[in-house]
Structure 1
Amino acid sequence: FLFFVFLLAVPILTLAAYMLSRHISRPIVRLARAAEELAKGDLSTRVSVQTTGEVQMLVESFNSMAEDIALTTVSKEYVDNIINSMIDTLIVVSPEGNILQANASACSLLGYKEEELLGQGFEMVVKEGTQNSSTALDDLITMGYVGNTEQTYIAKDGRRIPVLFSGAAMQDSDGTIQGIVCVAQDITDRKHAEEQLKSFAAKLEASNKELENFAYVASHDLQEPLRKVTAFGDQLQTKYGKKLGEKGGDYLERMRGAAQRMQSLIKNLLTYSRVTTKAQPFVPVNLGSVAREVLSDLEVRIVQTKGRVDVDDLPIIDADPLQMRQLFQNLIANALKFHRDGDPPVVTIRSALISGNGTGGEQSNAAGELCRITFSDNGIGFDEKYIDRIFGVFQRLHGRNEYEGTGIGLAICRKLVERHGGTITTTSTPGQGAVFTVLLPVAHEQGGEQNA
């Protein structure tokens, strides 16, 4: 009987063991395979089995963990899509200098397939020179970051491509460098534009110099025949003035007046052309002394107009002393000239030192400390729609019969100020005077004066 029971129990136990092994081992195998897929980056991996007990709890825990990872982790495919959609080139380099990854923009720019770049030294795509690839990588490893430096990439066909290069070292939690991310932007078009701009600037400078030389030579050569016209006109007036009669005398006076205006015009034209051709080096200039000298020269005109000029304390700045005198002379003389009938002119000159970043809304070409000088008057003023005109050569807002002048004075002022790296602006209301504001750098670096 016992033997019969034993024979019956053996197959039952074998079947039970087989069923138990299938119930436990298969889910475990599936879990192991799912873990491998998850590790490879497949964040959609889940385990779907029907089981019970602790195995079921293990399956549910795995699925819950996979769900959390999917919610908090970006897939490799997603990252690759971002990298390959970048407009700028991206190359990942190992600490030893070998290329680990290159995005689509890098491959397109350089003319390589990614597999042709992988494993190659970074020096294959970076021009060797004073700042070659090894130096750039060494700097990255030492400092951890290099930003916006110009480098030259070498394409597969040998083309040299100027790029704006930035890089950063990738480190693990222990601070060990795992790789270097190199991002570069192709600046070929910008370089071409810069070269064209330099060429245009050189041509413009040459053209301006030719025009200045022409103006100087032409105006200089015109003076000699004009002197003869003036001299013969004076002799004609002296020797034959009474014989010319009233009408002849009128013609002679018109001729002499025209000759005098021509002389004044040529003189101002020469002054304009000499702003740069006869310029002097910048030295410390006491603007207060300049103002006093100019007022002494204009004393007769001030008395004739019964005017008054109030001058604030003015600073010492680096400038061309003769040109500062020209600037003050022209602006003060203008303020005295354009006064209202029956109303004595009052000219006020004030100054202040301001920062070169344009504090208070001011703008200037200079970055250091600036001297702001304002020339205010109570004269006839002008409509501000003519602001662009008044600083032009031979530009006048009034007829010659109303106010004397050639229309070059303010053009000379602007050129003088620009040569010093400054600006001149104006505001005005008709009948209420005008304010001319000059901004000049207080100091210039040695040899840094403008020659525009």
Structure 2
Amino acid sequence: MITRIKKKSPLFIKISFYIALLIIVVAGAIAFKTTKNLSKSSELVVETYMVNVQLEQIFSYLKDAETGQRGFIITNDSMYLEPYVKSRESINNSFAELKELTKENDFQQNNLKDLSSLIDKRLNNFERSSSFSVNDNLESPKFDPVFFEGKELMDAIRNKISEMIEHERVELLRRQEDYQTDVLLTPIFLFFLILFSIALVLLAYYKITKDIESLKSYNEELETFKESANQSEIISKHGNWIWDIEEETYIYSDNLYRLLGEQPQSFIPNLDTFMTYVHPDDREKLEKDVAAMMENEHLPFVHFRVIQKSGNIKRLKSYAQVLELDGVRKLIGTTSDVTDEFESFRLLEERNAELERNNKELSAFNHVASHDLQEPLRKIQTFLSRLVDKESDNLSKNGQVYISRIQNAASRMRLLIDDLLQFSRTNKSEKVFETANINLILEGAKQDLAEAISDSNALITSDTFPVMYVIPFQIQQLFSNLISNSIKYQKGDSIPEISIKYNRINAIEEDKLVKPKKEHYHKLTFTDNGIGFKNEYAEKIFVLFNRLHGKSDFSGTGIGLSICKKIVENHKGYIFANGTPDKGATFEVYLPI
């Protein structure tokens, strides 16, 4: 979200600013154009007025000349010719003004040429008419045509002037319409343009206000995150540093100073000062690593020691990689205090060595149990057998009882030693997994228990199993122990019935499987019709040497089911027991696929 504020909001504000600026420029240009058009329209109106005035004046000058001519003809007084003489000069001045005013109007320029020709003819007519009066020849038949010709020329001039004035009037109306359109539309357009500009500015202001509020919120979050990061550095015992590749400057976090045994920001961060804290034995190697870092712009994991002012030696680990931000390349690094890890690793090595010694001692114990303990036990059993065979008749009844008890104890001792050796081999044996035919393994277990199965007339039914990736001899031991357990704990004289079912299950569908590591499992279900047990003992029966019945009731050492549990654990599986007194027991084995 912070990225969105930094990128999208300024872009929107910039666009709004540029649009508002463009609107102001356009409004100014329109206002300038409108003002210019208004000025031009005003000039054109004045020009039209001046053209009309000049045309009216020309016609007025001609009428004055005509009036003077008539007075001269009637009275033959030269005083009446004065308006005629002045009119020529005035007409010429008006014509010069008209040509200047209509220089951009070709139509009026052509009209001026026609009007000039008519006026010249009319003035020439004045001279010819006046000549009849000077010569006192008004009664001449030629006078009338000349006189009436003057009237026709004046009518023509009047029509031409009227035509030109009408043209100017039409042009004036057209210009007024254009002027009115500009006057009407321009303010409306400018109004909406300015309104849009104001709305855009208000929207930008609103956006800036919201962004400022958001930035305040994000700054608070950043401050919180910064403080959290500082606390995290202290707890996790690491510090951060930044090397500006271009500027050759460093930035250290507060906790990096603490790792060196100094107060935060107590010295200017630089490489030379940092090297003074490095252990002398590690300084040369670290300098080479730093030189390679500057050359390759990358620092792989390096380990070194530092000596704090207090004299404490700390083991540190550093790593860094290049990060490019806005075109600026920086090396972002992390330095961690691994002193505790090193001590833990050293302690782990010591414990591993101790464990290895214990394993060797256990192996020695196995050797003793398998050889040294069994040898005197075999001798005891051998001499007891000879004593019974040869001296049984010489023994008293109490002696015979004692001999019988010694034999039973020796047999239990042998069974216990054998089970202990089996449990030990389950823990220590090489866990070689291979793809095995479980059906053949089950048959092997039956062969191992052939005598017990035959003696008890046990009925064993089983599904067909797929091949599995297992430790074959351990799975055979698992089958043997569970089947033997069902035969051993049968009810009175009843025939043991043992069922072995197979299912392929999905781990998430089995509530019993807590945090399964595999998605699917082989499920083997062993069910018998024996004496069963209370479910409160469902977990205790897997504990080493734990027995639910007395030695006189059922033989055994309490190790068999512990071996089963260990075998299943070796396969990363699960085993569960469920019993009902006098009805039987069920064992469920889950082996990962």
Q: Which TM class, normalised by the smaller chain length? A: 0.5 to 0.7
1:134-190 deviation line (CA, Å, top 9, x unaligned): 88899998xxxx9xx965476464955345868783533xxx345354455545434
Task: Give the superposition deviation at 1:307.
Answer: 3.0
Q: Does 1:226 align with 2:377?
A: yes
Equivalent in the alignment of 1:273: 424
1:71 equivalent in alignment to 2:213: yes
Q: Report if the CA contact (8 A) 2:322-2:329 is conserved.
A: no
Q: 2:481 aligns with which of 320, 330, 340?
A: 330
Helix, strand or coil: the match of 1:375?
Answer: strand
CA distance in 2, matches of 1:224, 1:272: 20
Matching residue of 1:94: 244
Aligned partner of 2:459: which letter? R
Query: Root-mean-square deviation (CA), in Å?
Result: 4.5
Once residues 264 and 227 of structure 1 are traced to their aligned partners in structure 2, the CA distance between those partners, rounded to angstroms, is 12
Q: TM-score, normalised by structure 1?
A: 0.66
SS in 2 for 1:226: helix
Q: Determine if the alignment matches structure 1 residue 106 to structure 2 residue 249.
A: no
Distance 1:69 1:274, change over 3 A: closer
1:65/1:333 Cα in 2 relative to 1: closer, same or farther (>3 Å)? closer
Residue in 2 aligned with 1:10?
none
Aligned with 2:226 (options 69, 83, 86) = 83
Cα shift at 1:268 = 1.9
Match of 1:310 in 2: 461
**DSSP 3-state at the match of 2:543:** coil
CA contact (8 A) 1:394 1:406 kept: yes
CA contact (8 A) 1:373 1:439 kept: yes
* 1:241 and 2:241 correspond: no
Give the match's secondary structure for 1:114: coil
Work out the CA distance in 2 between the residues paired with 1:168 and 1:369.
44
Residue 242 of structure 1 aligns to a residue whose secondary structure is helix
Identity %: 29
Aligned ranges 1:297-446 → 2 under 5 Å = 297-341=448-492, 343-353=494-504, 362-363=513-514, 370-441=521-592
Conservation of the 8 A alpha-carbon contact between 2:369 and 2:421: no
Q: 2:406 aligns with which of 247, 255, 265?
A: 255
Cα distance, 1:134–1:63 mapped onto 2, change above 3 Å: farther
> How many angstroms apart in 2 are the aligned matches of 1:338 and 1:139?
74
Largest Rg, 1 or 2: 2
User: Which residue of 339, 357, 361 maps to 1:210?
Assistant: 361
Amino acid corresponding to residue 106 of structure 1 in structure 2: L
- Map 1:169-184 to 2 at 5 A: 169=323, 171-172=325-326, 176-183=327-334
TM (normalized to structure 2)? 0.52
Q: Which is richer in helix? A: 2
Contact 1:337-1:403 within 8 A present in 2 as well = yes
Q: What are the superposed Cα offsets for residues 189-245 of structure 1, whole Å, 9 maximum, x if unpaired?
A: 344335434533442343244134214313421222222222222222222323335
Match of 2:27 in 1: none
3-state SS of 1:411 partner = helix
SS at match of 2:548: coil
Distance 1:364 1:279, change over 3 A: farther
Q: 2:315 aligns with which of 161, 166, 169?
A: 161
Amino acid at match of 1:381: G
- Structure 2 unaligned blocks of 5 or more: 1-197, 234-238
> By how many angstroms is 1:357 displaced?
9.0
For residues 273-309 of structure 1, the C-alpha deviation after alignment (integer angstroms, 9 at most, x for no partner) is: 3335554744332221010122233344334434322
Mapped partners of 1:225, 1:287: distance in 2: 39
Total equivalences in the alignment: 374
Give CA-to-partner distance per residue, 1:97-127, whole Å, 9 cap, x none: 9454322122212345537454549996998
CA change 1:416–1:169 in 2 (3 A) is: same
Contact kept, 8 Å, 1:216 with 1:273, in 2: the verdict is: no
For residue 473 of structure 2, what is the amino acid of its counterpart? L
